[in-house]
Chain A
């Protein structure tokens, strides 16, 4: 199996993996980074969102061997102020989509620290939450630095 070299949350990882494995599967099954969730496995729901060089990326439809750039997962964002903002705003019910929401939101506020409601709705529309925590997510992002 060809090796994958990955810069992940600031650390270097070298792992053998079969050609064709998705970044999401590599993270979860080979590296044990299970904070990234797989909910549809075909790029429709956003649960698997990671950042590559700061850009939100659907890891379930990204080939692991093709990744060039620094990967940031929820495990690399555990000290981000958004974590506490999500907790305070009650922006979590079952929590399965939530890591992906936080990763998307972190990319948003990094590029635009004071997003408007419309900007939040535009940027976050690719992350589905079946429990319907959207108003709380909006509140968490609006007040992420409070």
Chain B
């Protein structure tokens, strides 16, 4: 019987209570460790079509009569459109329609950052549309520009209310501490720069809008578009079969979707609106910069007694204020914690979620601070972390936590310190650093899956999720194959179409596998139960003695052993349909992921050049579904993290607020030449309280601790405290210089 419950839902560290209809979920978890399919290596089912260039991305969709859009964007960081006139632009050949401020969501009269969309033109080709922009007659009124987040906070210019948190008595605990370490840490803006830019193709068919879009959340797009247009959700069909990356920036529709929909309505033709790479760098969102003033107080034995932090998230013109203080509140056992977080509204491009938003930034500050504390106490940084191990999250028990096992896995990498340091020369200094990881990743309800079995003994999972590129399609097939008792190549997955499958959650927040996976398992169990009922009737045996193993229907006594297709062929075109739903998360428990990374670096103290030579990662994300895909996720997160730690820097003209780095030669992302040796291990223990799978998500955890691990390795190598990301050569030389001065004053330093 369907049950109505109230349950907590978390996405990217934001919680809300939702009503949920649940059906009883009687499945017990599988035993721990690799099974027949789940927990083993599987290549991606859709890899051949992606590698061969056959996968059809939104960028590849060409509809008959399709128009192309160019978007007029503000050259000013803050300005108002006083007057706009499209007469000349519309008279140009091939130009079909134009939209001004207010004519589609996202085209605003007030531009709050350089790159904000104000108008759009549709034409037969993109070239003609872009040429028409130059013919738009526009008059701007420049407005005051605020770029300094601290100034914005002083002036109380916020995107959201400030968040204040205290447990215990921070001030008193700090006054009773034996040692106190303070530090100010800065992290910079990071661009997602997905290889496929943000884009959509919209087409009206009768009263239904078809939206082909590169998105992490087809249902989110469906709901936002239907709400904006005032039409039923079922009149918006959203399709995303393949997408070229998102990393958090494609969780919803933006101006390009609404512009394409409105231009399609006005022209009666399909319309594409695709950002250029340069627009991607100015207008598609970014990880916000942060300023963190942190304090830790500890007893001389290393017991942390007080943690405090003032955090400013430099949000930009819009976006939400992520939980930068999260790691400080959650990672260590500490009775006295006080944090304040402000979300500064400034005239820079909008914040968008980016792979563990808030926690990446907050972990950099906290885990550097903890190492500075270890140095002051002359304690082993790993030992210090173990001594402050948290057994609950602010009084709430963990559904599972195996961070200690991660530390144990990391020990052998940590033990390489002497060997690594010994490689140092006069100019190249080598060192090892570590950092811990905490983040969400438990997923939650609702999500649904259907499964159909056909007479040839094959199965198709149908669920309206999307595969951002993490391999979730393959993970779903593995879960279904395991439950059904069939080889993996018997299971296909259909996804990416909101009109052709049940609701499934977004591809973000490390939530996809833990949210949709249990629904897929439940659907497979439902189909299997029906198959065994049929088998019992066909072979005249009791259902309870039957099972499916490796594609064979077998009975416990061995009398029945028949290929599945031999049983199912009697169905003809009839099908067996299973359905499954995601149940609620465990009430009153904190569902979190954990891990630790150990980085080895070499620093040239003359030039400030930094090389990351090796990163060892140990993560606890519950049960591993695809061991090969999981390793790829960890490698990808680490490599992306090396970018924002060392080379990626979005530069802004400090006077005008215009973005100076709009191309991929200026905004420097890692290449294959920047990759260190990466060692990757998992605890691989199912979370016994979480769903029928015990799996958590892995998309985000690997990027969380890396920057701090590298910064701590740099301190180990050189004695210099780095406090800013990216650690450019300039920042490295500044930190080396500061370390030298500190040494002259008598404090020990390795340089």
Contacts and interface: CB of A to CB of B under 8 A. Distances in A.
Interface of A: 28-29, 32, 34-42, 44-45, 47, 73-75, 78, 83, 86-88, 90-99, 102, 120-122, 124-138
A83 to B, nearest CB: 5
B301 interface: no
Interface stretch (B57-65, B134-142, B419-427): B57-65
A135 B669 contact: no
Main secondary structure of the interface of A (DSSP, over half): loop
Contacts of A126: 671
Given A40-B664, A93-B245, 20 more contacts: A35-B54, A37-B57, A39-B195, A42-B663, A87-B44, A90-B43, A91-B51, A94-B195, A94-B469, A95-B47, A95-B469, A121-B672, A124-B672, A126-B671, A127-B672, A128-B195, A129-B195, A131-B636, A132-B670, A136-B632
CB-CB nearest 10 A-B residue pairs = A35-B53, A94-B469, A95-B50, A96-B244, A132-B639, A132-B636, A99-B53, A44-B664, A74-B53, A96-B195
A74 B44 CA distance: 19
Nearest to A137: B672
Contacts of A86: 47, 51
A48 B192 CA distance: 20
Most chain B beta-carbon contacts within 10 A, residue among A38, A39, A74, A83: A39
10 contacts: A35-B54, A37-B57, A40-B277, A75-B53, A93-B636, A98-B51, A121-B675, A128-B664, A129-B195, A131-B640
Contacts of B672: 120-121, 124-125, 127, 129, 134, 137-138
A91 B671 CA distance: 14
Contacts of B244: 37, 39, 94-96
Given A40-B277, A125-B673, A34 B243 contact: no
A95 B473 CA distance: 14
B541 interface: no
Given A99-B51, A131-B245, A131-B636, A39 B196 contact: yes
Contact of A93 (B276, B277, B471, B664): B471
B229 interface: no
B195 to A, nearest CB: 4
Interface in B226-249: 242-245, 247
Contacts of A36: 53
B52 interface: yes
B277 A41 contact: yes
Contacts of B51: 83, 86-87, 91-92, 95, 98-99, 102
Contacts of B102: none
B638 interface: yes
Given A29-B62, A121-B673, A130-B193, A44 B665 contact: yes
A42 B666 CA distance: 12
B7 interface: no
